[in-house]
Structure 1
Amino acid sequence: MQQTRDALHDFTTRYCDSWQRRTGHAPASQALAGVPSPCIVATQPDEVWWQPQPFTLPATLEAVERALDITLQEALTALYTTQFAGDMTARFEQQELTLLQVWSEEDFLRLQENLIGHLVMKRRLKQTPTLFIAATASEQEIISLCNLTGEIILEQPGTKSRTVLAENLEIFLTNLQPVTGSLADNG
């Protein structure tokens, strides 16, 4: 888990530094304006500026594991329980994406409910359990962690279509490149 936490911290630092260089301020989000979070460092008329903050809840996704009687990859737990932060836009090779993060304690509860719903759908379709970690520009594709192998995959929910992007989450995070242009302006 520590390698994943370190890779997430490294990417987050690169992301925040990129924002600072480009804009002269912390990362900004219009989508999160008005949504309480310990990450908010400034409130502007139509956006909030944020900085990552330490995760203050127990660092576990036990509720998801209990609900589905499943053991989750430790890397996934590390991704979602290392910090509170805004979602971060990035590129992995040619794939633009939004790395999902937990914004607040309330958001963490919502995330767990969504992970449970996703796993229930996968089970109903008799497909390998995956857990989403990033959104793409296409509503038809998401980036997920395969719970059996630990691989990071591009998948189309509801289908068997999947492409392996990285051997594991640490490699994926290490190779992410921050995107702080127009893609980043949506939150």
Structure 2
Amino acid sequence: MDEQTAQALKAFTTRYCDAWHEKNDSWPLSEELYGVPSPCVISSTGEAVYWQPQPFEGEANVNAVERAFDIVIQPAIHSFYTTQFAGDMHAQFANETLTLLQTWSVDDFRRVQENLIGHLVTQKRLKLSPTLFIATLENELEVISVCNLSGEVCKETLGTRNRSVLAPSLAEFLTQLKPLL
């Protein structure tokens, strides 16, 4: 496990939850995750759930993705997706407004791995170097991802070679994130 990435993710999650507490006097609330089982759920309203991060349960790696492509995935990606269960969190990085993706449960973790595999299949078919997404942007054709060759965090336009480096590492990227509520 990449300990720097795990620590940076936990630190950002704490900043996010603290900002939410300060603004709303509660744990984060999500309408999108209402009715979806998770160890993170504290309570529900009629249409939303309050959640708090929980330790990841299960095998702490994305080996299913590695096996599917017979490649080695950057250690930071293993840590990013297996440090905790949490809801997706809105954030700001420089001029980018994003939604940091998280796994919500063991079932969601399986789904995320399947989506990562699908992303890599498309990249291979288009002869693009492999990236693994970690966040979405308002423009659905763009994502924030980690380059599997360099470990750099990039903004990329899906299905193209358009990529711009945002940070030299996932830990550095997470350290610079600011919570958006």
Superposition map of 1:108-127 within 5 A: 108-127=109-128
- Give distance in 2, aligned partners of 1:42 and 1:18: 19
Superposition map of 1:140-159 within 5 A: 140-159=141-160
Q: What is the identity percentage for the equivalent residue pairs of Structure 1 and Structure 2?
A: 55
The amino acid across from 1:10 in the alignment is A
Name the structure 1 match of 2:98.
97
- Give distance in 1, aligned partners of 2:126 and 2:13: 35
Name the structure 2 match of 1:139.
140
Superposition map of 1:37-76 within 5 A: 37-76=38-77
Instruction: Spell out, residue by residue over 1:54-81, the C-alpha distance to the aligned partner (whole angstroms, 9 max, x if none).
Output: 0011101111100110100000000000
Name the structure 1 match of 2:6.
5
1:45: how far off?
1.1
Q: Secondary structure at the match of 2:149?
A: coil
The amino acid across from 1:105 in the alignment is V
Q: Secondary structure at the match of 1:160?
A: coil
TM-score (norm 1): 0.95
Name the structure 2 match of 1:185.
none
User: Considering only aligned residues, what root-mean-square deviation do their CA atoms show, in Å?
Assistant: 0.5
Q: Secondary structure at the match of 1:17?
A: helix
The amino acid across from 2:3 in the alignment is Q
- Give distance in 1, aligned partners of 2:65 and 2:7: 24
Q: Secondary structure at the match of 1:112?
A: helix
- Give distance in 2, aligned partners of 1:24 and 1:46: 19
Q: Secondary structure at the match of 1:101?
A: coil
1:42: how far off?
1.1
Q: Secondary structure at the match of 1:59?
A: coil
The amino acid across from 2:161 in the alignment is K
1:175: how far off?
0.1
The amino acid across from 1:79 in the alignment is F
Instruction: Spell out, residue by residue over 1:81-136, the C-alpha distance to the aligned partner (whole angstroms, 9 max, x if none).
Output: 00000000000011000000000000000001000000011111000000000000
Name the structure 1 match of 2:161.
160
- Give distance in 2, aligned partners of 1:169 and 1:153: 10
- Give distance in 2, aligned partners of 1:101 and 1:75: 14
Superposition map of 1:165-180 within 5 A: 165-180=166-181
1:172: how far off?
0.2
Unaligned runs of 5+ in 2: none
What is the count of residue pairs matched by the alignment? 180
- Give distance in 2, aligned partners of 1:92 and 1:50: 23
Q: Does 1:30 align with 2:31?
A: yes
